[in-house]
Structure 1
Amino acid sequence: MAEGVSLRRRRRSMSQINVVPFIDVMLVLLIIFMVTAPLLQQGVEVDLPQADAEALDTTPDQGEPIVVTVSRDGRITLNQGPRVGEGLERDELRGIVSDLLSRQPGTDVFVRGDRFVDYGRVVDAMISVQAAGAGRVGLITDPPEQDG
């Protein structure tokens, strides 16, 4: 009879789930994502001019606005499209913006120009964007620094 009792104990399966390894994996993933998230930000360093201007009204249902950036060295880049962050020529800029606007008409278009770049280069970017079909083009500036 003692043999039958011991056989039952051996055959009994364990029905508990050990969650400690799962928690360890989740914490490691959390740390990895926290470290890599800031590195995924793409952009061009631009020293924007300061201006006391009101913010433009944008509609959230239009999606992400198209931002054309003119860096200090005169390089023109886009925040959307097939060549994000790459230097573009005027005709390439016009073609990509035209394609983006044909897919999402009414998308807001903004130009970020470095304060030390040649003004003509910013105007060229604005003309290219308008030729691509943008009805309105906004300029992005930084608010003036407050003393005190």
Structure 2
Amino acid sequence: MQSAISRHRKRRKLKSEINVVPYIDVMLVLLIIFMVTAPMLTLAVNVDIPKSTARSVDSKADPIIVTVDGDGRLFLKLQDAPIAEYSDEELLDRLRAFHEQNKDVPVFLAAPGEANYQRVIDATAIISKAGIEKVGLMSKPGGNAR
């Protein structure tokens, strides 16, 4: 009699159901992530870039300043040199040469609010091609930035 009971216990039916609880948890997490990030994906934002209330950057060395003026011309101000106008290729060569010798000197990009945005992006690309990974954007102190 005992052997019949032990055989009966060994023959359990297998469940053919899928446990969907982990899938529901993942779906809810993704839903929350999408609900939080969707409002941040606006395509157009009105920004007045040159005004800021940020505090100034403290630096021991004089920074390198690349300036884009309202006409799209590029200027470079090195530490002890006067500011001078350069073409794209000349600016790239000067930045690369100076940055190889002085890797810890900060680099800033300055442009007025009415400057051509494409020209500012081009200047950023030139700075990046020179091997400079960190670039600060200069702005006028004051203003009502939020």
TM-score (norm 1): 0.57
Contact residue 64 and residue 77 of structure 2 kept, 8 A: yes
The residue correspondences of 1:19-98 to structure 2 (distance < 5 A) are 49-58=50-59, 60=60, 63-80=61-78, 84-98=82-96
Report deviation, 1:102.
1.0
2:114 corresponds to 1:113: no
1:144 counterpart (130, 142, 145): 142
Count of aligned pairs? 96
Tell me the amino acid that sits aligned with residue 103 of structure 1: Q
Q: Aligned residues: percent identity?
A: 28
Q: Which has the larger radius of gyration?
A: 2
Report deviation, 1:100.
0.6
Contact residue 52 and residue 141 of structure 2 kept, 8 A: yes
Contact residue 52 and residue 143 of structure 2 kept, 8 A: no
Contact residue 112 and residue 141 of structure 1 kept, 8 A: yes
Deviation track 1:42-71 (CA, whole Å, cap 9, x = no partner) reads: xxxxxx82123343343x1xx211000111
CA RMSD of aligned residues (A): 2.4
Structure 1 residue ranges, 4+ long, deviating more than 4 angstroms after superposition: none
Counterpart of 1:6? none
Counterpart of 1:133? 131
Residue aligned with 1:116, SS: coil
Report deviation, 1:84.
4.3
Structure 2 Cα separation of the partners of residues 80 and 144 of structure 1 = 26
Contact residue 53 and residue 143 of structure 2 kept, 8 A: no
Contact residue 50 and residue 143 of structure 1 kept, 8 A: yes
